[in-house]
Amino acid sequence: QLQLVESGGGLVQPGGSLRLSCAASGVTLENYVIGWFRQAPGKEREGVSCISSAGGGTKYTESVEGRFTISRDNAKKAVYLQINGLKPEDTAVYSCGALWSPSLSVCTMLLPFQYWGQGTQVTVTS
């Protein structure tokens, strides 16, 4: 059974950076598409980024394009989300999701992700 644990959130000023981690336990991540999602208070969950299980294909929602970078290290069973140029509107609980889909070279945040972590809070305020 795959379990996901997010970390790296915190309180930062606008313009700051954070590196979020999504760590897996139980199984390796290499056959999973991983997505990062966020949910702000009073808003629906939003897909932020995803990375394919093969070939390193990535996708970003338009509002984070150029500021967020997703990457994975299968040997460490982890996926990362580097967040730069943080804005107050980035404030949310960030969660990662996983979908077992080996050899998939593309991804979309609309996939039916099967496994979820509990999330890590990111707060951007001056």
Q: How confident is the model at residue 126 (pLDDT cuts 50, 70, 90)?
A: very high
- What DSSP designation does 97 have? E
User: What's residue 84's pLDDT?
Assistant: 98
Q: What is the pLDDT of residue 86?
A: 98
pLDDT recorded at residue 55:
83
Residue pLDDT, tens place only, 84-125: 999 999 999 999 999 999 988 999 999 999 999 999 999 999
Over range 56-76, report the average pLDDT: 96
How far, in whole angstroms, is CA 54 from its chain's centroid? 17
Instruction: Go through 10-35 and write b for each residue having 16 or more CB atoms within 10 A of its CB, e for each that does not.
Output: eebeeeeebebbbbbeeeebebbbbb
